[in-house]
A and B are shown apart, each in its own frame.
Chain A
Amino acid sequence: MSRPLLIRGGRVVDPSQSVDDLRDVLVVDGVVAQIGNGIDPPEGAREIDARGLVVTPGLIDVHVHLREPGGEHRETIATGAKAAAAGGFTAVCAMPNTDPVVDDPAGVGFVIAQGAAAGAARVYPLGAISVGQEGKQLAAIGEMFEAGAVGITDDGNPVMDSGLMRRALDYAQAFGIPVADHPEDLGLSGAGVMNEGVVATRLGLHGKPNASEDVHIVRDLMLADLTGGRIHLQHVSTAYGVEAIRRAKTRGVRVTAEATPHHLLLTEERVEGFDTDAKMNPPLRASVDREAVREGLADGTLDVFASDHAPHHYDEKEQAFADAPNGIVGLETALGLGLTYLVGEGLIDLATLIQRMSVGPAEAFGLPGGTLVPGSAGDVTIINLDEAWTVDRDGFLSKSRNTPFHGWDLKGRACYTIVGGAVVWEADRS
């Protein structure tokens, strides 16, 4: 067993138990043993002096693409898990749209094994909803659950067949796992590569209307209502979508939903100049949508702050806009962006951001952690709110560099990432 770990004198912000106070946290045998003041260190304990720092439950990113197997030139499970740890995340959920698709228990087992070997953030696999993510036949959902999948999704390939989606929501209930959906109607998206509107019109790029997302958000809410299943809506980007989720929650529909840093901070204007690092799916939307996503995150309609970390090799982004792939990396910038622009500018307070990054995601996917209640997993993130730093994509631990936030000045960064009581990442504080 690893050495006990005593984190001394930090400001503990644990929204799961409404704590925001100076406390010591003791982790023994990989679990939180005690939280209080003046805790005596057990023999052989490692001590971290957290005075002046913020101590939170380990942060969780429920939406990352680790690309392995099949896309190891973009990211591997090891590099992704290390990038996650460097970004303050103690756990991530890996999307199954790899090559081959994770749609069977062997694939789930592979991701778990690679994650464990990485020795960084915990890696929880999601399995596919359908075989090969082809939207035709249910994948081996029960077997994948037994192998350790924490949810199912066809992220990347929207489930166009509403009947299949209904069956997935019904079937997954036996295992208590959510169905995560990338809500998008491909017919409405057509050849779109950015948000539909005057920017797209001027640039001569085909647009995706908000309706292509809204139609599937509303459909998924109806199907969750019909089945009693748990739907998790990924990367919500539209005003109508946020409002539809808000109303569904008041009716008691079992829905959780995500907001990404880029949809909270950027708009379609960022595509000016055909910048492929501003190309993602769903696309950056209009400012009214960004405002609605912000309100949704603030009032809890959107439960989870997730990065949709989507690494691409620089060659792949070094193309004309329409030809470049969707997505940006986010693991190493999400916390800093949230602290600087969401907390720093007063949209939400620190406890709310931590809630959306810890207990919110843990509850959405039924994960251990997200709390420092004694007996829970000894996953802890220690944050220096005062550290000013500049995003430098060339310094990322991720294999990829595709970020629209390169060069942004941020304030606040993780300085220790602790998984099961072991320090898996520690900032150079010299």
Chain B
Amino acid sequence: MANATLTPRRSQLTKGRMPTYTLWVVLAASIVVGAALAALVGFSLVPWAIFSAILFIVAGTAVSAAIEGERKAKNRLALFLVYGAFLIALLPLLSVIWTVLERGVPGLTYNFLFTSMNGVTGAIDNQVVAEGTPVLGGAYHAIVGTLQITLWATLISVPIGLLAAIYLVEYSTGGRLARAITFFVDVMTGIPSIVAGLFAAALFGQLFGPGTRTGFVAAVALSVLMVPVVVRSTEEMLKIVPNELREAAYALGVRKWRTITRVVIPTAISGIASGVTLAIARVIGETAPILVTAGFARSINWNVFGDWMSTLPTFIYYQILTPTSPTATDPSTQRAWAAALVLIIMVMLLNLAARLIARLFAPKTSR
């Protein structure tokens, strides 16, 4: 048995563990084999990535099971799948942003931002494609409509949402009415946007005759979507205002409504403002309610109480689904993507503004 001491033995400390490079080797091997498999079905990037990923997950787990045992192999499999889920979730985001940038930037000209579609006909688009001249027509009317309708929706829903939240937090004593409001506000957040649009259309159809379509009807439809968001965020913010502040005000003999307007709201204003901004960001991209309430305009209309209006989302929708020129769709597609870019920039700016407001106007906690 003297020989036994001479045979090299694996250390007990590293037994049942994989060297760190193992998985890299497996990954490299799966990429190579994946490329070979992809070549069988006609080589391209997507099948290559899919085959490599599947091979890596299967082989990595198998190698781990052989060396480390079943429990650790399961752990690795879960790790691969969780990381994979995140990468898959990133794909559409990157793809959408890339597509909008790639196709939207060429169309984003001064002309696009500051002219409407008034007088732009299919014949003009045909000529643009045939002769390669710059695309005419733009989304000025849609930008105006978006801003107008969103402004009016905000004007309607912020007071209602704010006051309702104040009622829930400051006045109600948790009675049946308060519980009903809380419950139905939650339910309202789930109303499909098209149903909100139908409601506004039906309401104004009953009041002012069928087929009443103006910017204001759209603003009412958007308010139905916006109010619950404002209520929820304001409620959350008012709840975290310390009770000591209210009690200190009461102890000084300040009236309740003065306490609310002078102490509670200023303390919570940053959260409320950012909540409202996020609510605006949510409704500014809504398409379906506008489609059934505001009609579709080709020219500039500043008046929300009269005539049809167009917004950026409906502009995109119609430019794609019913191109201005059915035979030469490129100019319409270009306008649609440029409008999508403008819309995304607006939404992202609003989201950014919400975060900045929340940070800049946050109450100072330290002295």
Chain A partners chain B: no
Residues of A at under 8 Å CB distance from B? Answer: none
